[in-house]
């Protein structure tokens, strides 16, 4: 049994990660300030003696006895991280500083959830970890994109300067049950609008591409990365290399929900990436990982979840 701290543990990916780690026999400490996380996501774990909930914001220091830290804390959808961009930047920079100090003090391994957004609107396709990105440092998405890039810098510097045991994963589009129906992401938008019979919003002409990874696959990759014994610290792409257009996704959702919703085309948001597809060669070679959940199976579970809360 390991003592494992999961920051952002009540968030979308965090709650799935907590549940998996708990089911594997660990003592799990879920830390969340509930800015975007929801207590209802973790209610089924609260009675478990090996689960602990701490309400705390990682912008402030904290001392917790632990062997592993999964740093998942940060609003990750544009409406959430643009709501308070200064807070988003603080969470990425001050938050990772506090977690790195904790890891250094405890001698813990720290895994940081970075993002495909570090690649910006990429000029290289698919995106490999060696690509430095094409990012606007002063745009409306910069609080998130540049915050995550700065966090990666701090992780590498703590590793080089103090020998801190780090892991960096770059998460591509992830979906599944417990997504926030109002998070503004394409999967949740399409499903909720289809269920309600509203026009489905397509930004641009829908030709922009995304690669959708089911949350169980993502969690499996994160745990493999944390526990790999090859000295592999990353960064490593975790995502589904099956690329599809946003328009194709909307059409799939319409078909699977049986909705009569129409498509409504709106202007493309500022700095919205045109292409997004991970090269997962490193994950395959170093972690033996690749996604296994088919998009239709994952969407079916996600649609059932959204129907249950509608």
Q: Token pair for residue 228?
A: 């790999």
> What distance lies between CA 255 and its chain's CA centroid?
27
User: What does the buried/exposed string (b/e) look like for 169-191 if buried means 16 or more CB atoms within 10 Å of the residue's CB?
Assistant: bbbbbbbbbbbbbebebbbbbbb
Q: In terms of DSSP bridges, do strands 109-115 and 68-71 run parallel, antiparallel, or are they unpaired?
A: parallel
Ramachandran angles phi, psi of 105, nearest 5°: -65, -40
Q: Token pair for residue 204?
A: 């641009």
Active site residue 144: yes
Say if CB 172 and CB 276 are below 8 A apart.
yes
70, 81, 119, 144: the catalytic one is 144
Query: How does DSSP classify residue 127?
Result: B
Ramachandran angles phi, psi of 70, nearest 5°: -100, 110
Task: List active site positions.
Answer: 144
């Amino acid at each position: 049994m390991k003592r494992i701290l999961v920051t952002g543990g009540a968030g979308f990916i965090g709650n799935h990660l907590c549940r998996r780690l708990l089911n594997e026999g660990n003592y799990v400490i879920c830390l969340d300030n509930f800015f975007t996380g929801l207590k209802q996501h973790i209610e089924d774990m609260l009675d478990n003696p090996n689960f602990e909930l701490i309400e705390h914001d990682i912008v402030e220091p904290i001392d917790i006895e632990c062997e592993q830290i999964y740093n998942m804390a940060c609003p990750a959808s544009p409406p959430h991280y643009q709501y308070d961009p200064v807070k988003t930047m603080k969470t990425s920079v001050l938050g990772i500083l506090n977690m790195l100090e904790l890891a250094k003090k405890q001698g813990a391994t720290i895994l940081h959830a970075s993002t495909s957004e570090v690649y910006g609107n990429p000029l290289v396709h698919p995106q490999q970890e060696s690509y430095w990105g094409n990012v606007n440092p002063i745009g409306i998405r910069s609080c998130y994109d540049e915050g995550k890039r700065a966090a990666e810098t701090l992780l590498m510097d703590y590793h080089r300067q103090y020998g801190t045991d780090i892991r960096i994963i770059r998460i591509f589009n992830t979906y599944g049950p417990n997504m926030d129906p109002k998070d503004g992401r394409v999967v949740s938008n399409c499903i909720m609008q289809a269920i309600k019979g509203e026009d489905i919003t397509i930004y641009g002409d829908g030709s922009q591409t995304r690669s959708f990874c089911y949350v169980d696959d993502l969690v499996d990759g994160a745990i493999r990365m944390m526990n790999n014994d090859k000295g592999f610290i990353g960064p490593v792409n975790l995502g589904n290399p099956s690329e599809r257009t946003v328009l194709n996704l909307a059409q799939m959702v319409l078909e699977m929900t049986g909705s009569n919703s129409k498509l409504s085309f709106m202007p493309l948001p500022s700095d919205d990436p045109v292409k997004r597809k991970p090269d997962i060669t490193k994950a395959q070679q170093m972690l033996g990982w690749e996604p296994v959940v088919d998009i239709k199976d994952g969407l079916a579970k996600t649609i059932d979840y959204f129907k249950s809360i509608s």
